[in-house]
Amino acid sequence: MKNIFIILGNGFSIDFLNHLKSKTESCADNIALSNLFENGELVPWPGDDSCGFLSYKHCPNLWTLGARPNLSPEASLSLIENIITCANVINSKKLQVDSIYIRAYRELALYLKALFIYYDKKVDVPKINSSEWGWAKYFQHINTSGEVDKVHLVTLNYDIWLERVLQEVGIDFHVSGFDSKETKFNIYKPHGSISFAHKQIKVKEFFNINHTEDIVDVNLKEFELKYANLNALGLMHAMIPPAGDSARLNFKWANEIRNSICEISESLSENDEVVICGISYWHVDRLELDNILTSIGPNVSEVTIVNPFSPEVFNAVTTTLFKNVKLFKNSQPLVQNG
């Protein structure tokens, strides 16, 4: 019996959307995962569900700093990195600073929750044919395989398409930090998720962004797992914005999940397999990924990288750390190997 340890980055979700587009599913239109501001004017404001979340009306600090739907992906990422880097600095010393960048951080954290909920509502997974997707086939194969004991899925994505696809193909799973049920598939989301719902909800009619409070740190037990009736009305949000070295926003809830990941990665043996999909290995997540990768023994049975544009620096690192590395452009060979 072997365990399979899977790390999923943004490329996994992009591959899912590309699968939908190849099947002429129009629901994948107007979903931009590489430019988080591109569809900002379409995102509903949680207070009244009207379009225009990314606007001067609702996000005056983000807007003043230059956040626009027509920004290029590079300009959007640069702005987000500036904002998160400032939040990192303030949070590391627990300083109380009133700055446009800190106010913009609060707007950004809420905007991201609303953005990915908006995207989730566009894609009704049970009504599309995701079972023909290469990853769905692979998950079904390892779920029924008598040779596989546990499947550990570490996803850095906020979306819940992974969970919805598993549900559609009939695979039960456990999400780290939320219940103790025994399942073959176990999911870890160290950057948070739109499914992490805070137990305290703001009154919709009086909804606003509080610019006077500090960046609040909370435990995972203050959230519950939800997949239906998602909204951005929670008092707090468990999502780490994707820039500025994610590990430096040292939140308690994220550390709980990271510790669980570390326990699993350190326990992998020579009989186990590692699969890595859609990792950019940009400096944002590099330290966090390095901590995971270096905790895995060099003689694991196989390390498979699935990425049509895997960065050369990541290829160099993985072949330095591990002896049995394979690189695939897509997920199809995973099923064929099975």
Using one digit for the tens of pLDDT, what is the confidence trace for 7-47?
Answer: 999 999 999 998 888 877 678 888 999 899 999 999 999 99
pTM equals: 0.93
Using one digit for the tens of pLDDT, what is the confidence trace for 145-155?
Answer: 999 999 999 99
Query: Do 36 and 112 meet the contact criterion of CB atoms below 8 Å apart?
Result: yes
> Who's near 212: CB < 8 A, 6+ residues apart?
none
DSSP H/E element including 203 = none
Going by C-alpha positions, the residue among 49, 54, 327, 96 that lies closest to residue 215 is 96
Q: Kindly compute the dihedral angle of the four CA atoms of residues 207, 190, 172, 232, in this order, to the nearest 10 degrees.
A: 10
CA–CA separation, 152 and 317 (whole Å):
22
The pLDDT value recorded for residue 140 is 96
Domain edges within the chain: 2-25+126-194+253-337
How much is the average pLDDT of 107-112? 93
The pLDDT value recorded for residue 246 is 46
User: Which tokens is 40 given?
Assistant: 């900002």
The CATH class for the domain spanning 2-25+126-194+253-337 reads alpha beta
Provide φ and ψ at 36, rounded to 5°: -75, -10
With 50 as the cut, is the pLDDT of residue 302 above it?
yes
